[in-house]
Structure 1
Amino acid sequence: MAISPTETEQRSEVGVVIAGETTAAKSPMRLAVDRFRHDKLSMASFVVVALLVIGAILAPILVKLGVLDYSTLHQDLIDNTNGGLPTGAHGGISASHPLGVVPGTGWDVLSRVWLGVSFSLAICLCATVVSVVIGAVLGIMSGYSRGALDWVIGRLVDLTLSFPQTLMLLALSAPIIAFFNSSLHLHGNLANAVYIIVVLGLFGWPSVARLVRGQVLSIREREFIDAARSIGASNSRIYFREILPNVWAPLLVQTTLLLPSYVSAEAALSFLGVGVQAPLPTLGNVLADATTWILGDPLYFWIPAVMIVVIVVSLNLLGDGLRDALDPKSGR
């Protein structure tokens, strides 16, 4: 029987004998990596995200070494007769300040934006981890157990989704931060950062739980789950040793999609006055400060705004690329 080109390609991937030659087998992970590498847009987004992560890791080190200085005032570069705008063209751009200085204070814009990327990504990554951990655990429990526990978790998801997230973040900020100050002895920007992490994480897990539950409803009927039950494996072992390794792919994709939404949320909350406050920079509070000077020094506004757009778009494209690469039904 003649073998079609499509069948030949599919059989070659799994290592069958064709025309007397045995082709090398490819694992599902290798196939996913190959699909991802052949997607130019996904690779470009991966390079951008990698550079952002490396820059975020290096920023605190460069501050310690004195290369980045985000808090030193340069009042000699501010023209107080012109409303506090920087002296010179384009926001005071010079060899020592490649992106200019902040109007009114003279802080170095490059240092603040670079360190702001570091703090924003750290806060949003922690919030994403909180959401993914809670959502994965509750989603596995809900999908595997079903029954009363599934109903309770489902109603908890509905209740969490019914809250107006932004309004709740603003309303709860004062009492929760006061609790952090008095009971946990967290003060200043540390309390604000922990608040953003906790609240974003606690409001973001339902989408993860629903995704995982849908995957687990199929996985729980597989033979290896029946085998684990037959040898007396505990529920916790089945959750974390049998089911969790089989849902890591959608969890990874969901993580890359949650992270950019949290970057946007952190920027919005800082713009509304809830979050890390100056002089410690995040992209949100830098952008919030820049809106005051948008007419006099528009470059100061566009630098953090474009950086937020680059981060969000790159992470979204990376998530889309991972989803397509890990989907075995996607076109090759």
Structure 2
Amino acid sequence: MSLTASSVEQPGDSEFHEPEGDDKAAGKVGVEGRSPAKLAWARFRKDRLSMVSFSVVVLFFAIAVLTPILVAAGVLKPQDFNQDQLDLITGGLPNEGMSLAHPFGIEPGTGRDLLSRILLGTTLSMTIALSGAIITVIIGTVLGIIAGFTGGVVDGVIGRIIDLTLSFPSTLMLLALSQVVVDRMLDIGIPSGPNGAFVNGFYIVIVLAAFGWPPVARLIRGQVLSIREREFVDAARLMGASRPRIYFKEILPNLWAPILVYFTLLMPAYVSAEAALSYLGVGIKNPTPTLGNVLSGALLYADSYPLFFFTPAIFIAVIVISFNLLGDGARDALDPKAGR
């Protein structure tokens, strides 16, 4: 059984509860111990800003899950053109802004419903960000545990790989290798999807993870250097536990707090990265919507039709701010001694 420093009860780790039956008659007071997870959740709930950000994040995940269902049911129509609602004299600007039929208005030039495209874009952008963050954390955690626990030559080799990866200009590599890597993916049988959406999204996920894991590995390695000296790790060694068991049964459960915090900080970074890459012409292309390419297309109409520009920009800003605040709240709840 793994032990952590936070598993030792501190003042405030227990709570009183009303005794019942004979205990109450005898005047006994009940005391209930709380696990580190319950303590962290209790601290998290006391922070109103963190709870608001948590609610917003849950809302965006619900949007990401429900939007494809609504599109399939015909409730949302992101690819329908409403040319009759455009003014050709003004270059295809909408005749009107928000309406009951189109709460966020329609796209200039195409007449597609902006709400439907932003919601579907939220689904795709968050799918890319979530997939990239999960792969990044897995790679960084595994290599960080191996480097920190093993030490010696293995630690040195992984450290040099980290330095080499960080030395590459990731944005330049993304732009330079985009078409080449996507073509090779298609050659090996990876499906392209509608308008190449799947293979391009897969490319973004792989590259984000390939350049994003070194900071995670360094963080985890530093934690493991301390954990490997604990008594429960020595006990596991003496009992003949294998390396994989020590890695994933003894050490990994003691790393969930920094992993969770870093994961919540990776999500907004990857949402922003997808938007930036779409602006640079790398990633999922129109007509398949993401928050990035919707915003990129709106730049042409920022002066003449601000609603088209500010709506996806606000969506991206709210997602990024909510995840950042959630990460701050999780860090404070999991490590109450650390200052905000």
TM-score range normalised by the length of the shorter chain: over 0.9
Preserved CA contact (<8 Å) 1:131 1:205: yes
**Structure 2 counterpart of 1:265, from 262, 273, 281:** 273
Residue equivalent to 1:3? none
Preserved CA contact (<8 Å) 1:13 1:23: no
- Residue aligned with 1:69, SS: coil
**Structure 1 counterpart of 2:166, from 156, 161, 164:** 161
Residue equivalent to 2:54? 46
Letter in 1 for 2:164: L
> Shift of residue 330 of structure 1?
4.8
Task: Indicate whether 1:135 and 2:143 are aligned.
Answer: no
Residues of 1 paired with 2:273 and 2:149: CA distance?
A: 32
Root mean square deviation, CA, Å:
1.6
- Residue aligned with 1:24, SS: strand
Task: Indicate whether 1:297 and 2:305 are aligned.
Answer: yes
Residues of 2 paired with 1:138 and 1:185: CA distance?
A: 27
Residue equivalent to 1:36? 44
Preserved CA contact (<8 Å) 1:12 1:25: no
Task: Indicate whether 1:202 and 2:210 are aligned.
Answer: yes
Change (3 A) 1:127 1:231: same
Change (3 A) 1:11 1:315: closer
Q: Give deviations 1:206-228, integer Å, cap 9, x for gaps.
A: 11101100110011001111111
Letter in 2 for 1:224: F
- Residue aligned with 2:32, SS: coil
Preserved CA contact (<8 Å) 1:86 1:103: yes
Preserved CA contact (<8 Å) 1:228 1:238: yes
Residues of 1 paired with 2:78 and 2:263: CA distance?
A: 30
> Shift of residue 256 of structure 1?
0.3
Residue equivalent to 1:6? none
Residues of 2 paired with 1:209 and 1:10: CA distance?
A: 30
Residue equivalent to 2:233? 225
TM-score, with normalisation over the residues of structure 2? 0.90
> Shift of residue 22 of structure 1?
4.7
Residues of 1 paired with 2:235 and 2:31: CA distance?
A: 33
Residues of 2 paired with 1:21 and 1:313: CA distance?
A: 44
Change (3 A) 1:11 1:324: closer
Residues of 1 paired with 2:273 and 2:147: CA distance?
A: 28
**Structure 2 counterpart of 1:175, from 180, 188, 192:** 180
Residues of 1 paired with 2:159 and 2:182: CA distance?
A: 29
Q: Give deviations 1:169-209, integer Å, cap 9, x for gaps.
A: 10110110110122224321111001000000111001110
Preserved CA contact (<8 Å) 1:267 1:285: yes
Residue equivalent to 2:3? none
> Shift of residue 21 of structure 1?
3.9
Residue equivalent to 2:189? 184
Residue equivalent to 2:22? none
Residues of 1 paired with 2:255 and 2:179: CA distance?
A: 38
Letter in 2 for 1:13: D
Alignment: residue pair count = 318
Residue equivalent to 1:126? 131
> Shift of residue 24 of structure 1?
2.3
Residue equivalent to 2:286? 278
Residues of 2 paired with 1:315 and 1:46: CA distance?
A: 8
Change (3 A) 1:12 1:127: closer
Task: Indicate whether 1:253 and 2:256 are aligned.
Answer: no
**Structure 2 counterpart of 1:82, from 69, 90, 96:** 90
Q: Give deviations 1:85-113, integer Å, cap 9, x for gaps.
A: 1112x3xx221111110000000000000
Q: Give deviations 1:58-103, integer Å, cap 9, x for gaps.
A: 0000001111100011111111111111112x3xx22111111000
TM-score, with normalisation over the residues of structure 1? 0.93
Letter in 1 for 2:224: V
Residues of 2 paired with 1:315 and 1:185: CA distance?
A: 31
**Structure 1 counterpart of 2:322, from 305, 314, 320:** 314
Task: Indicate whether 1:27 and 2:35 are aligned.
Answer: yes
- Match runs of 1:90-105 below 5 Å: 90=97, 93-105=98-110
Residues of 1 paired with 2:139 and 2:177: CA distance?
A: 21
Residues of 1 paired with 2:190 and 2:262: CA distance?
A: 33
Residue equivalent to 1:112? 117
Residue equivalent to 2:13? 13
Residues of 2 paired with 1:48 and 1:255: CA distance?
A: 17
> Shift of residue 28 of structure 1?
1.4
> Shift of residue 23 of structure 1?
2.9
> Shift of residue 328 of structure 1?
4.4
Residues of 1 paired with 2:316 and 2:91: CA distance?
A: 28
Residues of 1 paired with 2:128 and 2:189: CA distance?
A: 18
- Residue aligned with 1:105, SS: coil
Residues of 1 paired with 2:127 and 2:279: CA distance?
A: 18
Letter in 1 for 2:286: A
- Residue aligned with 2:13, SS: helix
Letter in 2 for 1:161: L
- Residue aligned with 2:191, SS: coil
**Structure 2 counterpart of 1:145, from 135, 147, 150:** 150
Unpaired segments ≥5 residues, structure 2: 1-8, 17-26
